[in-house]
Amino acid sequence: MRLNPRRWFYFLLLCMLPCDISLGQQVPDRSDSSPDAPRPSTSEPKAFFARWADFYRQDWSGTPTASPAPARRGVPSPLDSPPFPNADWSYGGSPVIGEPDTNSYPLMTAINRARSRTKLYGWIDPTLNFSTSAHSNAPEANDVYSNRFEMNQIVLYAERLPDSVQRAHIDWGYHLTALYGTDYRFTVAKGYFSGPWVNDHRQYGFDPTLEYVDVYVPQVAQGMNVRLGRFISVPGIEAQLAPNNYIFSHSLLYAIDPFTDTGLLATIKLNDRWLVQLGITAGHDIALWTPDAKPSATACLSYTTQSANDNFYTCANGINDGKYAYNNLQQYDATWYHKFSKTVHMATEAWYMYERDVPAVGGSIHPENGTNAAYCLMGEQRCTAPEYAVVNFLQKELSPHNFLSFRSDFLDDKKGQRTGYATRYSENTFMWCHWIGTTVQIRPEVRFERAWDRKAYDNGQRHNQLTVASDLIFHF
């Protein structure tokens, strides 16, 4: 289904005029944690829509806050956020232990002057891309539909973060996500309203991407957070939710790795440098009640140097017998973050993944809906399908409202089980991110990629692909 650009323009205009829709982000270090984000006024009461409009008026005019940022526990944050999506070196499966919840959102300011610990917020993310491919940009994500104006994400969060700064008592939190748009195909898990994508491949759909509870126990080491439910697969630089990424489009590495897991994960802060994670899940991108679910182990270790200029984060994710099932990937992942100076840093990630007993292309055994077969040796009905990848992001902060990012990416899909084509890929992207206040992001980019061993772009018709694209994120 193609969206009518004029209709979406009118939709966005209507949203902006009465409400000035904009919004925050998820994950521990959101953009709205900036000290420049507007705070609720203590002057005479105003009506709901007036408070909502005031938030944007102050935010876009750069009105500073009068209240100091609350204290945190741990090493200083290495980055500025904004303009970057996170202030700390990120790890999955937990809020940043020791960091206060300083986020202030337009919608919550309008509802109750941001007085409650439970917060409602979200964003809308319309996108536009121009591509040399006529039919599809795949395996590029998230602008997989070529030469389109579309709505990638409309997201609403309901969230309460546990207080992990204090060490006196157990605390709790929770998170619920509702996502609608073309990006649901990159978050959907079998068993969670997955039919529209897995069975029908509809362009637009809904996904309840995240549903979990957090329990923070301060008495264990320097704090332990236990997460139970469906959460983002822990390793990696990138995430499914648009504001949590350096660049609008995703790396090839990200586009084919696991998206969400359902299970239990404990994150233990041993000290300011060391953090360990242990968990058990049902496997990748599946619900507990599906036939594909099987007990799978996750173990991660994070180390941050005393200066906070370097972080190393390694994970073995979703480990079991590795036999073929829906996205039953055995993933071994390593990430290195390095800060060169106050304004320049990089993030590098590499992983190796495989599945055993994957049905062969053209064989008598058919793969599950929503998955690809593997290019096995002649005569094989099943085979092991491995792949490996590496990506590097290099960022330069230009100002509190601007940064540049350059990404280099390499993927070897040895048996074609992840992309549908057995080939090596490379990808390079250059992007500029500009903030309007702390509530609007514009991220134009230029991207060039190549399939080296066979034609894999535009439904197998091209070796190369060039795209020029941008998204526009309104936080509310």
pLDDT digits (tens, 9 = 90+) for 442-460: 999 999 999 999 999 999 9
pLDDT, mean of residues 307-319? 97
Locate the DSSP E strands across 320-463: 330-339, 344-359, 382-399, 402-413, 423-436, 440-442, 445-451
| The overall pTM is greater than 0.85 | yes
pLDDT in the model for residue 6: 43
Domain boundaries, the chain: 5-65+75-475
Q: Tell me: the pLDDT tens digits for 35-55? A: 445 555 455 678 899 999 999
Residue 26 has pLDDT above 60, yes or no: no
Contact call for residues 470 and 433 (beta carbons, < 8 A): no
Closest by alpha carbon to 189, among 287, 312, 291, 99?
287
pLDDT surpassing 50 at residue 379: yes
At which residue do the structure tokens 């320097």 appear? 222
pLDDT at 14 over 80: no
- Give the model confidence (pLDDT) of 58-103 as tens digits: 999 987 555 666 788 988 999 999 999 999 998 999 999 999 998 8
Q: With 0-12 CB in 10 A as exposed, 13-18 as middle and 19+ as buried, what is 321?
A: exposed
CA distances from 473 to 143, 177, 444 (A): 15, 17, 12
Residue 107's contacts (CB-CB under 8 Å, 6 or more residues apart) are: 23, 52, 120, 121, 122, 476
Q: Is 464:450 a contact under the CB 8 Å cutoff?
A: yes
- Give the number of other Cβ atoms within 10 Å of residue 426's Cβ: 14
Distance CA 186, CA 184 (A): 5
Q: Which helix (H) or strand (E) holds 10?
A: helix 5-19
Amino acid at 350: A
Contact 98, 269 (CB under 8 A): yes
Distance, in Å, from the CA atom of 389 to the CA atom of 303, rounded to the nearest integer, reads 22
Q: What is the mean pLDDT of residues 449-472?
A: 98
Q: Indicate the DSSP class of residue 108.
A: H
Q: Report percent pLDDT > 70 for the chain.
A: 89
What is the model's pLDDT at position 1?
A: 44
What pLDDT was estimated at residue 370?
85
Per-range mean pLDDT, top range of 43-57, 101-115, 335-349: 335-349
Backbone angles phi, psi at 255, to 5 degrees: -60, -20
Q: How many CB atoms lie within 10 A of CB 228?
A: 17
Choices 2.102.10.10, 3.40.50.261, 3.40.50.620, 2.40.160.10: CATH for 5-65+75-475: 2.40.160.10
Mean pLDDT across 254-274: 97
At 64 the pLDDT is 57
Residue 14: partners with Cβ closer than 8 Å, 6 or more residues away = none
